[in-house]
Every structure is written in structure tokens, then in C-alpha cells.
Amino acid sequence: MLTIRNLEKTYPNGVKALDRVSLDVPRGMFGLLGPNGAGKSSLMRTLATLQEADAGSAALETPDGVVDVLNDRDAVRRRLGYLPQDFGVYPKVSAIDLLDHFAVLKGLDDRGQRREVVEGLLAQVNLWDVRKRKLGTFSGGMRQRFGIAQALLGNPRLVIVDEPTAGLDPEERNRFLNLLAEIGESVVVILSTHIVEDVTDLCQTMAIMNKGQVLLGGRPAEAIAGLADRVWRKQVSKATLPNYEANHAVLSTRLVAGHPVIHVFSAERPEDGFERIAPDLEDVYFQQLRAQRQPAQAA
């Protein structure tokens, strides 16, 4: 369990990236949803000890006791696996050599033990057959899987991955997400993303963030159930779309065969032609963002 309370961070330019963030993150996959600039990466960097918080606390429960994440950085780093959004590699070094180098930096000094760990991780992330290839020849998905291998060095209790599927093709994305799901069976895994589908498919618990604040937390299924019978769909013309956006709580607009299809949040049928639909997590996501922008109307 990772317990975060009233975390705050304001950058020198005045941007308040974290505004009293409080979360309970249990073992397993935890999805952190939000648009660009929501504060997700700021939270990840703070938990990964890459920047200091201005206020608040974070505590990680481990088999050895509770670790103060903000004040005991060395202890956190011994138990942390981190895959940032931009994970760089040495393009002319082989996968097995670079992972061995990372293992040394992680404190695995015994050569025999280190070799066993490195080879086991490469097999776990399905890179054993290409272990001697230079990393510069890897696809985006292969580099991400290598990133997870380095994040798993040292048997971490907390694994943080920041926007890991950005730029991956569907096959690589599925392979990578399946790997994350396997990891999440035994440790805390925080998946920071703006892709709603990733959270729906993988995460037992989640939170939605925007403008440095936590808008909603809990289980995806419970959040979706909270919108039951209140999401409506209709195909409209491009000419009338602005009128709908002005007069209804439009959650999302998507072009289907060249025509806008809107989802509207309403307790009752907005007007003739709307059909009630089963909500999904994307509807929850947009409804929360809309409520933050227009609290009086959304209420």
C-alpha cells in the first residue's frame, strides 16, 4: 500500500502542479488518468524522488516496514522501479550489457547472481532472443519492454510507469500491457496515462487528475456505475453542434462517417432523438473534467 496525503508542489514559474493530492494506492495496477498538464508526471517524479514536494506526506508499506517516501530517498530508491515517459538508451550497447550495467548501479555486485537476474528479466520481458542486439535497432515496444526490465531490477515494491504506451502499435501495446498486468499481481504498479482504455482493461483502482487535483478515485466499475442511466447519444449536424454544446452537458464529440456523434450527461432525455447508452470510463473521465470546469452547471 502507498498512502499519499495532501501532497503539494508549486514550480518557480507559479504553476501549482500538485494541489493537496491524497490517494490510497493498494497492491496491483493503479491507473492515474488525466490530460497533459494534469499533474500526473509531477506526482510520478515526486514519488520517484526526482523532485521534492513543498508539503504533504507519502508512505510505502513494505515487508520490512513503512518507508517515508519524501524523506528517506535512499530507502525508496532501493524499492523503486521507474520507467519515465522518455526512457533513453545507449543505442550502440546490447540489451544484455546495458541491463547488466544497470544491475551494477542497483547494487547487484555478485557476478553470478547478477547474471541470473539479468537473464531472467530479459526472458520475462520476451527479449531473450534479441539480448545481444544493439538497443538502437529495437522498436519502440521493445525499448519499452527493456525499460520495464531495468525497472524490475532489485525486486521493487513500487513500480511507476509514466505514459508507457505512447507511440506503440496495437500489438506492442497489448504485449506491454499484459506484461504490466503480470507484474501488478505482486507489487504496487502506478500506470500514469491519458489513454482511458488502458485503465479500463487493466486497473483494479484508479484516480482522475486535472490541474493538480484529484477529481475522482476508486474502482473503475464503481465510477462507471455512478453514471448509469445518465449518458445519452445522438448524431447531430456540424451546423447544430455549437447549439448542443451551449445548451447541454456535452461530454464528448466524435465524428462517425463525417457526422458528429455526441454524448450528453443528463438525468432525463435531453430531447427527441437521443438514445440512452451504457456509460464507460471515457464518459466518467470527460464528466469529471467538465464538472471541474463548470461545477454549477455540471451539478
At the second CATH level, the architecture of 225-298 is 2-Layer Sandwich (3.30)
Is the pLDDT reported for residue 296 higher than 50? no
Strands 158-162 and 80-83: parallel
Q: In whole angstroms, how far apart are CA 62 and each of 65, 254, 276?
A: 5, 45, 46
Rounded Cα distance between 27 and 4, Å, is 14
* pLDDT at residue number 182: 84
CA 208 to chain centre: 10
Is the pLDDT reported for residue 48 higher than 70? yes
Q: What are phi and psi of 290, to 5 degrees?
A: -65, -40
Is the pLDDT reported for residue 197 higher than 60? yes
Contact 242, 50 (CB under 8 A): no
Please name the amino acid found at residue 263: H
Q: Please state the pTM of the whole predicted model.
A: 0.86
* pLDDT at residue number 50: 92
Say what percent of the chain tops pLDDT 90.
65
Is the pLDDT reported for residue 277 higher than 60? yes
Q: Read off the pLDDT band of 179 (50, 70, 90).
A: confident
Residues 258-273, mean pLDDT to the nearest whole number: 94
Domain residue limits, the chain: 2-218, 225-298
Is the pLDDT reported for residue 298 higher than 90? no
Point out the least confidently predicted range of 44-48, 113-117, 162-166, 194-198: 162-166
2-218 and 225-298 agree in CATH topology: no
Contact 203, 220 (CB under 8 A): yes
Q: Read off the pLDDT band of 125 (50, 70, 90).
A: confident
Is the pLDDT reported for residue 88 higher than 70? yes
| Statement: 2-218 belongs to CATH 3.40.50.300 | yes
Higher pLDDT, 162 or 20: 20
Higher pLDDT, 125 or 297: 125
* pLDDT at residue number 174: 83
Residues 176-191, mean pLDDT to the nearest whole number: 85
* pLDDT at residue number 299: 42
